[in-house]
Amino acid sequence: MVADAFICDAVRTPVGRYGGALSSVRADDLAAIPLAALMQRNPSVDWTAVDDVILGCANQAGEDNRNVARMAVLLSGLPVEVPGTTVNRLCGSGLDALGLAARSIRAGDCELMIAGGVESMSRAPFVMPKADAAFSRANAVYDTTIGWRFVNAKLKKAFGIDSMPETADNVAADFGVSRADQDAFALRSQQRWAAAQAANRFADEMAPVSVPQKKGDPVIVDRDEHPRPDVTLEQLARLKGVNGLDLSVTAGNASGVNDGSAALIVASETAAKANGLTPRARVVAMAAAGVAPRIMGIGPVPAVRKVLQRAGLELGQMDVIELNEPLRRRGSRCCASSVFPTMPRR
């Protein structure tokens, strides 16, 4: 019999802007913050019973190298016997960590897990490859913040190396997503964040970050830094396309480059009861799907179809559909796609 996996608590730091309030915080320190917060919020838990800590991290080229999850475990105050491992599915890394934790519990291998993710794009380093030949003066420097580096020539020839904004423009062109629709989707997201912030909806999940200063007291960061709640549709419409004036990806409808971390407690029913935890949600199914790299942002469509089939559910049974929005034409296209034909756009 398959065991159930429950999410029992969830904590995150504020999301910092690139070069902003969290830019001086190392990725391993940033990852330790929600882990420590979970411990403080759940004093009844036997933390020596945690089977594993799985964190997603997409960069892993700087201070987040060599298993940032294990570093975060040690920095957080969790028992040294608790292991940690880091996974990478790029933008889906943190969600993949949750899936792996839930599957471990459902398989009966584990009882109590922590899953989450961390990224410090502000602190992503520049990297250089070693020369192909001895004494060569040829060199290249890559900014690891975002995008391709150390490209395989065979992969480039077969699939191209479109950047994320370019893949988003490809999706917009291939599936007929207008600039107006993308901007409207972006505006709605900003408005929803503003409404949630005004209603204090984030307070229970937020772990404030104390950022030391060169002089004076530390600065306490307890609010998301990236959203622009006062932006208007007219302002969005005036922005130029990143990839060309006639193209639709802009600084206003593309995602930001951010810093932050999050962690969740995932437990079996037995572990939840033994540790005084209250289940918030049951993880029913997970799925991933591959698509052509040039339109990688359409991936949620086949993934949703796959996970519904895997769970034995239908779209009409869903009360809420929550989409990540790395580039808005992906999110807006997924909402408008035939995979979501009957769902209200809430």
Q: Report yes or no on 176 lying in a domain.
A: yes
Q: Report yes or no on 187 lying in a domain.
A: yes
Q: Give the orientation angle of helix 179-198 with respect to helix 328-336, to 10 degrees.
A: 100
CATH number for position 193: 3.40.47.10
Q: Report yes or no on 343 lying in a domain.
A: no
Tokens of 320: 């809420």
Number of compact structural domains in the chain: 1
In contact, 307 and 286? CB cutoff 8 Å: yes
Q: What does each C-alpha distance from 57 to 70, 270, 316, 322, 345 come to in angstroms?
A: 12, 30, 33, 21, 31
Cα angle 209, 325, 205 (rounded to 5 degrees) comes to: 30
Per-position DSSP letters for 155-178, written without gaps between them? HHHHH----HHHHHHHHHHHHT--
Nearest by Cα to 329 from 174, 97, 209? 174
Q: Report yes or no on 28 lying in a domain.
A: yes
In contact, 131 and 139? CB cutoff 8 Å: yes
Residue type, 162: D
Q: Report yes or no on 134 lying in a domain.
A: no
Q: How far apart are CA 14 and CA 27, in angstroms?
A: 14
Q: Report yes or no on 344 lying in a domain.
A: no
How high is the pLDDT of residue 326?
63
H or E element: which one contains 196? helix 179-198
Tokens of 247: 């193209």
Tokens of 116: 């989450």
How high is the pLDDT of residue 324?
75
Nearest by Cα to 13 from 218, 261, 201? 261
Q: Report yes or no on 145 lying in a domain.
A: no
Q: Bin 216: left if φ > 0, else alpha if -120 < ψ < 50, else beta.
A: left
Segments forming the whole domain that contains residue 202: 5-128+153-336
How high is the pLDDT of residue 86?
99
pTM for the complete prediction?
0.94
Q: Report yes or no on 146 lying in a domain.
A: no
Cβ count near 287 (within 10 Å):
15
pLDDT digit of tens for each residue in the chain (346 aa)?
Answer: 789 999 999 999 999 999 999 999 999 999 999 999 999 999 999 999 999 999 999 999 999 999 999 999 999 999 999 999 999 999 999 999 999 999 999 999 999 999 999 999 999 999 999 888 888 877 889 999 999 999 999 999 999 999 989 999 999 999 888 999 999 989 999 999 999 999 999 999 999 999 999 999 999 999 999 999 999 999 999 999 999 878 899 999 988 899 999 999 999 999 999 999 999 999 999 999 999 999 998 998 899 999 999 999 999 999 988 877 765 445 554 444 444 554 444 4
Nearest by Cα to 30 from 264, 260, 263, 265? 260
- In the beta sheet, which residues pair with residue 12? 206, 262
In contact, 183 and 251? CB cutoff 8 Å: no
Q: How far apart are CA 146 and CA 257, in angstroms?
A: 8
> How many Cα atoms are found within 13 Å in the side-chain-facing hemisphere of 314?
4
Tokens of 208: 């404030």
How high is the pLDDT of residue 216?
96
Q: What does each C-alpha distance from 243 to 164, 168, 246, 253, 299 come to in angstroms?
A: 11, 10, 8, 13, 22
